[in-house]
Structure 1
């Protein structure tokens, strides 16, 4: 599965995912030069690069995702993670999704965690 974590996604979660799956295909906004761009631009980049976005932003990111879908634009998926979830639980649930599903299953889907 190809993932993109947004700017405010908890770094300990990213590190934990890589500890569990060193070959995980996850890039961070900070690493690709998109730190200062807005949510629609992040969703554009993710769609163009077939990446599911990981975010804690429940306030605005899902709205932009739904607007994309309403316009008929592509979206590879959005996983909205509650920032109050314990880090270990987030890692376990994301690993479950990564191990037990396919990238294509999340196309056009906004998923809220916890599951």
Structure 2
């Protein structure tokens, strides 16, 4: 099964746009399309998990702790934390590589930080 992504509300939209421009067949849902604005981290994790999407977020302060708590009683498709200091082009390339060489099953209940 292919990796699909869910952008968190705090994710730079240029990342989503750039990924989809480079590879239009990637399933990368925006926060707006998912209705994530104003939701708590636990609710965002639940929505992404329900749809089997890896959550991509800049939130390195609260999301890792929320994720650790979430997976004690639920399964997640995974979380990728992206440093805001990384150039957008690097983030795009890393997400494309993850999509191309890994399967969705490899990301279940896993959290990673970019760059890998």
TM-score category, normalised to shorter length: over 0.9
Q: Deviations over 1:50-105 (max 9, x none)?
A: 11000000000111001112x23111100001110011111111111010000110
- Does residue 74 of structure 1 match 2:108? no
Counterpart of 1:106 in structure 2 is 107
**Deviation above 4 Å: which 4+ runs of structure 1?**
none
Does the alignment pair 1:94 with 2:106? no
Give the aligned partner of residue 85 of structure 1: 86
CA RMSD of aligned residues (A): 0.9
What is the Cα deviation at residue 26 of structure 1? 0.8
Structure-2 residue corresponding to 1:29: 31
TM-score, reference length from structure 1: 0.95
Which sections of structure 1, spanning at least 5 residues, go unmatched? none
SS class of match (2:94):
helix
Any gaps of 5 or more consecutive residues in structure 2?
none
For residues 10-25 of structure 1, the aligned pairs below 5 Å read 10-25=12-27
CA deviation profile, 1:23-53 (whole Å, cap 9, x unmatched): 2101112112221111100001111111100
1:45 and 1:26 map into 2 onto residues whose CA distance is 14
Pick aligned residue for 1:7 from 4, 9, 14: 9
Select the residue among 29, 40, 43 that pairs with 2:42.
40
